[in-house]
């Protein structure tokens, strides 16, 4: 069947309007007892009407991936979530809307929970039986429960590793640790400079799909051009999740095969720390020197300075 079934979020809270994740996923922080409402659109780009089942199910984070559970597997978040209507018939090349409502119990414990809103289509049964195909597309849910604002999100870039894949492509693997209180969906890029012959290369995009659970450490991979010289290179990596962004620097040389040793990075916010300290000390020295000079002028015997002034006056 040509075309496909799609599902997208139609609105997001005003408080997160600048957060790119909140425009495609349900991302929110609410206190126990709160209600969350979102509208979703189901689209049908096929040439026939589609009967679509809408429901919520469990999800989890493991090994750097956001994993939707099989079938209608439930967890806390999915049990709090209702989709109305639960089934829609979407006309050919048309769309339908539905409302997602999350009712957080008053006794819900503080935590971040994960789930998916699914739009599911099942193929018609063939005469005489046979296998029915089930297809679904979903919207992730990241819902943090607790009083006050959302926990701060943060991460650190611990190291970079220069590698080659089995077919010889240079690759950089960044080791990233989630040090904040929210799950992170990583994106970013790598820029290379000052390579052999003073070459520059990039930016090269990070492979999307890495999701870091709270407290987890996972690799973020950037695959580079096959013709790239081995190096050494000055590598600058920029990684982000939503509005949070960090940069780091390291010098990398790609091995002929396999992996080089991890290289500890210098965070970008520390890159100018030494020059700034030096400039600050120089400015402080100039200020102190000027102040000392003024004090000395005031403390010198008047005869030392009055002589030239008197002589100048007399000669006039």
pLDDT band for position 268 (cuts 50, 70, 90): confident
Strand-pair category, 244-252 with 233-241: antiparallel
Does 282 score more than 60 pLDDT? Answer: no
Residue 174: count other Cβ atoms within 10 Å of its Cβ: 26
CA angle 263, 265, 270 (to 5 degrees): 160
Give the distance from CA 148 to its chain's centroid: 22
Closest by Cα among 33, 66, 22, 25 to 218: 66
Least confident of 4-13, 68-77, 233-242, 248-257: 4-13
**Res 174: pLDDT:** 97
Least confident of 5-19, 139-153, 200-214: 5-19
Query: What confidence tens digit (pLDDT) does each residue in 133-180 have?
Result: 889 999 999 999 998 888 899 999 999 999 999 999 999 999 999 999
CATH number for the segment(s) 5-145 = 2.60.40.10
User: How confident is the model at residue 313, as a pLDDT?
Assistant: 29
Q: Is 204 exposed, middle or buried (0-12, 13-18, 19+ CB in 10 A)?
A: buried
CATH 2.60.40.10 in the chain: give the residue spans: 5-145, 155-268
Fold (CATH) for 155-268: Immunoglobulin-like (2.60.40)
Reading the block at residue 211, the tokens are: 């999701």
Average pLDDT over residues 71-96: 96
**Could you tell me the pLDDT band of residue 281, with boundaries at 50, 70 and 90?**
very low
User: What do you get for the CA distance between the two ends of the chain, in Å?
Assistant: 107
Instruction: Please list, in sequence order, all residues whose beta carbon lies within 8 angstroms of the beta carbon of residue 182, skipping any fewer than 6 positions away.
Output: 112, 142, 144, 150, 151, 152, 153, 214
On whether the CB atoms of residues 135 and 117 are closer than 8 A, the answer is no
Give the pLDDT band of residue 129 (cuts 50, 70, 90).
low
Decide: helix, strand or coil at residue 148. coil
- Residues 217-265 have pLDDT tens digits of 999 999 999 999 999 999 999 999 999 999 999 999 999 999 999 999 9
pLDDT the model gives residue 19:
81
User: For residue 269, what pLDDT is reported?
Assistant: 61
């Amino acid at each position: 069947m040509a075309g496909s079934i799609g599902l997208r979020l139609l609105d997001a809270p005003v408080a997160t309007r600048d957060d790119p994740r909140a425009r495609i996923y349900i991302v929110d922080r609410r206190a126990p007892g709160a209600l969350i409402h979102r509208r979703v659109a189901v689209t049908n780009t096929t040439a026939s009407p589609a009967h679509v089942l809408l429901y919520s199910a469990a999800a989890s984070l493991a090994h750097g991936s956001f994993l939707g559970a099989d079938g209608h597997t439930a967890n806390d978040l999915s049990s709090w979530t209702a989709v109305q209507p639960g089934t829609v018939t979407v006309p050919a090349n048309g769309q339908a809307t539905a409302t997602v409502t999350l009712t957080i119990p008053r006794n819900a414990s503080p935590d971040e929970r994960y789930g998916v809103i699914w739009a599911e289509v099942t193929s018609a049964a063939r005469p005489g039986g046979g296998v029915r195909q089930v297809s679904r597309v979903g919207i992730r849910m990241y819902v943090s429960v607790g009083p006050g604002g959302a926990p701060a999100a943060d991460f650190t870039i611990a190291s970079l590793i220069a590698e080659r894949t089995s077919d010889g492509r240079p690759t950089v693997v960044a080791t990233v640790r989630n040090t904040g209180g929210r799950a992170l969906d990583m994106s970013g890029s790598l820029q290379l400079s000052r390579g052999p012959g003073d070459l520059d290369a990039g930016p090269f995009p990070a492979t999307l799909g890495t999701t870091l659970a709270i407290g987890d450490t996972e690799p973020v991979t950037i695959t580079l051009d096959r013709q790239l010289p081995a190096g050494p290179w000055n590598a600058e990596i920029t990684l982000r999740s939503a509005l949070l962004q960090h940069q780091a620097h390291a010098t990398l040389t790609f091995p002929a095969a396999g992996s080089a040793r991890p290289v500890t990075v210098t965070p970008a916010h520390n890159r100018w720390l030494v020059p700034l300290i030096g400039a600050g000390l120089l400015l402080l020295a100039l200020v102190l020197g000027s102040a000392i000079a003024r004090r000395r002028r005031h403390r010198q015997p008047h005869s030392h300075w009055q002589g030239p002034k008197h002589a100048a006056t007399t000669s006039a």
